[in-house]
Amino acid sequence: MTDHPVTNASPSRRDFLKQSSVVALAGTALSGLVLPSHVHAAGSDVLKVGLIGCGGRGTGAITNALAADPNLKLAALGDTFGDQVDQTLKIVASGPQKDKVNAEEVHKFTGFDNYKGVIDTCDVVCLATPPHFRPAHLAYAVEKGKHVFCEKPVAVDGPGVRSVLESCRIAKEKGLSIVSGLCWRYHYSIKETLQQVHDGAIGEIRAMQCSYLTQGLWKKARREGWSDMEYQVRNWLYFTWLSGDHNTEQHIHSLDKGAWAMHDEPPVSCSGVGGRQTRTGAEYGHIYDHFDVVYEYKNGVKLFSRCRQQDGCEPDVSDHLFGSKGTAHIISHRVKIEGEKNWTYKGPPCDMYQTEHDELFKSIREGKPINNGDYMSRSTLMAIMGRMSAYTGKTVTWDQALNSPERLGPTTYEWGPVPTPPVAMPGLA
């Protein structure tokens, strides 16, 4: 395979990369150290980038990844389904990063083992499948010494979260970057707002409220010839073993902002309610369409959290932090602080989906790994414990959720029958 010409780098960016490569090599010679194969401080290295999970987000993520550094090429795409791979390849090969894509040279992998092919082929991988598969994909990527962009959530159950925590610990030892798709952490305005909060702008946090009230999402009608497994994987949103339910899959973005405000200290426990009122048909699998969960922290602070996916209802996607000296509102990209100190973000706009990849590739080039493992695992567990509480009708502690032996989903992946579990009935489990 040939390397693709650099077409979108400004001369100054190229010079900078050249210069840093000289510095990096000089440093290596002086110290007598050999850089491990996954360290790519030399900007002239062409990094091979790949994607596992060729859906909507994955296609966006690989496009952002390819835009993040001049010396990249798309090396591999993986998905359970060939049609998904072909679709992503077509979009990326004709999109803004087409110069980094030679469609005929991109390796394509399908079936459930596709991830091994992609990871073995690439230096950096984007993980964007349904979250059930993330722990295994991340573990393999770290084992093989690859840098990772890891979409949220990172698991759907306690065993999955424990696996991700362990992978991220090993990644730290190996000096690998793991950047999380909890994209708000990379948004300038939210970062600055949270910094203001952490610097005391609203005093001590007393309570938080986060809402993700939105419409229903897409679904795919069952086609002739699809096994249960194919139907479920293609409609993964509606099966808890694949998505974690929507309070995990979608609402994690809101929970993560509460967690961030609390410096990622885990809540002690939570108590939740939920159910399905409008999405009652079999085409919606067995997940709920609304949740309301209260999280409690060691110091008595509570996070009041709600999410809903129902058509025709009023939307509200917002986060509010109530402090002893004021309130921080994080609403629809506009943020403001009211109280003793009034403040509104006035900095530059930001495409958080691009920023997260810019920082990932910068960290790889500079040999300064980013590891978002702790917060992406903790916020995922917060969401999972909320679901556990709503499904059972019982208070769930952090330790119970983290140490839970409940592993969701089949233990082997085959194109055959997979029964749909009944809708969870609180009080019966």
Q: Which range, of 80-88, 100-108, 378-386, 393-401, touches ligand NAD by CB under 6 A?
A: 80-88
Stretch that binds ligand NAD, among 35-43, 76-84, 167-175, 292-300 (CB under 6 A): 76-84
Q: Exposure of 312 by Cβ count < 10 A (0-12 exposed, 13-18 middle, 19+ buried)? A: exposed
Judged by CB under 6 A, does residue 54 bind ligand NAD? yes
Task: Reduce the DSSP state of residue 126 to 3 states and report it.
Answer: strand
Q: Does 52 bind ligand NAD (CB under 6 A)?
A: yes
Binder among 43, 70, 117, 131 for ligand NAD (CB under 6 A): 131
Contact residue for ligand NAD among 45, 69, 79, 292 (CB under 6 A) = 79
Q: Which of 347, 360, 343 is nearest to 61 (CA)?
A: 360
Phi–psi pair at 131, nearest 5 degrees: -65, -20
Other residues' Cβ atoms within 10 Å of the Cβ of residue 421: 12
CB of 75 to ligand NAD, least distance (A): 16
State the Rg of the chain over Cα: 22
Residues in a beta bridge with 327: 322, 338
Q: Which is nearer to ligand NAD, 30 or 221 (CB)?
A: 221
* 138 part of the interface to ligand NAD, by CB under 6 A: no
Region at 283 (left for phi over 0; alpha for psi -120 to 50; beta for the rest): alpha
Q: Which helix (H) or strand (E) holds 166?
A: helix 158-174
Q: Which residues contact 223 (CB under 8 A, 6 or more apart)?
A: none
SS3 category, 111: coil
Exactly one of 71, 84, 196, 305 binds ligand NAD (CB under 6 A); that residue is 84
In the complex, least distance from residue 388 CB atom to ligand NAD, rounded to whole angstroms: 19
Q: Which two tokens stand for residue 426?
A: 């609180």
CB closer to ligand NAD out of 203 and 410 = 410
Nearer to ligand NAD, 183 or 208 (CB): 183
Q: Are 44 and 21 in contact (CB under 8 A)?
A: yes
Report the distance separating Cα 15 and Cα 262, nearest Å.
41
The three-state secondary structure class of 102 is: coil
**Which residue, 54 or 125, has its beta carbon nearer to ligand NAD?**
54
- How many CB atoms are located within 10 Å of the residue 111 CB? 14
Structure tokens at 396: 């769930």
Q: With respect to ligand NAD, which residue has the nearer C-beta, 40 or 357?
A: 357
Binding mask 249-288 for ligand NAD (x = CB under 6 A): x---------------------------------------
Q: Which of 112, 226, 304, 375 binds ligand NAD (CB under 6 A)?
A: 112
Q: How far is the CB of 246 from ligand NAD (least distance, A)?
A: 10
The tokens describing 410, both together, are 């089949």
The whole-angstrom separation of Cα 75 and Cα 87 is 16
Closest to ligand NAD by CB, 151 or 319: 151
Query: Which amino acid type is present at position 31?
Result: S
133 touching ligand NAD, by CB under 6 A = yes
Residue 151 in the binding site for ligand NAD (CB under 6 A): yes
Our finding on whether 130 is near ligand NAD (CB under 6 A) is yes
Q: How far is the CB of 201 from ligand NAD (least distance, A)?
A: 27
> For residues 180-199, which are near ligand NAD according to CB under 6 A?
181, 183
Does position 178 interact with ligand NAD (CB under 6 A)? The reply is no
Residues contributing to the site for ligand NAD (CB under 6 A) = 52-58, 78-81, 84, 112, 114-115, 128-131, 133, 151-152, 181, 183, 233, 249
